[in-house]
Amino acid sequence: MFNQLLNIAASTQWQANISTQHCTQQVLSWLLDDSSLTNKLEGQCQEFNVQVKQQLNTNSTESTLSPYFPYPEKVLVREVLLYCDGVAHVFAQTEIPYSTLSDAQEKLANLGSESLGRVLFKNATLQRSKIEIAEFNIGSEIHAFSESLQQTCQHSLWARRSVFYIENKPLLVSEVFLPASGIYK
């Protein structure tokens, strides 16, 4: 069943030059960590799993997508929740241009509940762009989404995104740290 894409790209301002004005060092350390988030989360819990919220094909003109991929690029969008011990910790949205889904990268379209991080960080050609971060204030669409997961909070939620390159083929991964993630302590 199709659900509307969560607007994490256009609903806030993404910044590459990070100011810690509103962000604690604890939060910032998670946002700027360039190692595998999957591995980091697995180290924090007994049971880690991925639940696919939706996966759909669209095009780069979709208003909720990032400006990274030029028109008229077709894009595969995958939205997942990363769970630790049965509780959603991270919402992730991945934009993969069709041009990336050729040759060995075709498997990225069929991950199911497998972690994208496991696939990416096993690839010897992996490169990552600079990490951008974003703050989602109380009342944002991200807060409404976290409340739909029975996770309410009275503080901003933080996210990060970066473009990964596998064999010089790009894909954008955006990750929102939900209230239960533990990074806000």
Q: How many domains does one find in the chain?
A: 1
Residue 42 belongs to a domain: yes
Tens digits of per-residue pLDDT, 104-157?
Answer: 899 999 999 999 999 999 999 999 999 999 999 999 999 999 999 999 999 999
Q: How far apart are CA 56 and CA 38, in angstroms?
A: 23
Q: How far apart are CA 85 and CA 116, in angstroms?
A: 19
Q: How far apart are CA 166 and CA 126, in angstroms?
A: 5
Which residue type is seen at 154? Q
Residue 9 belongs to a domain: no
Residue 81 belongs to a domain: yes
Q: How far apart are CA 149 and CA 83, in angstroms?
A: 12
Tens digits of per-residue pLDDT, 48-79?
Answer: 999 999 999 887 777 778 888 877 778 999 99
Query: For residue 59, what is the domain's CATH number?
Result: 3.40.1410.10
Q: Which domain holds residue 30?
A: 25-181
* pTM assigned to the model: 0.93
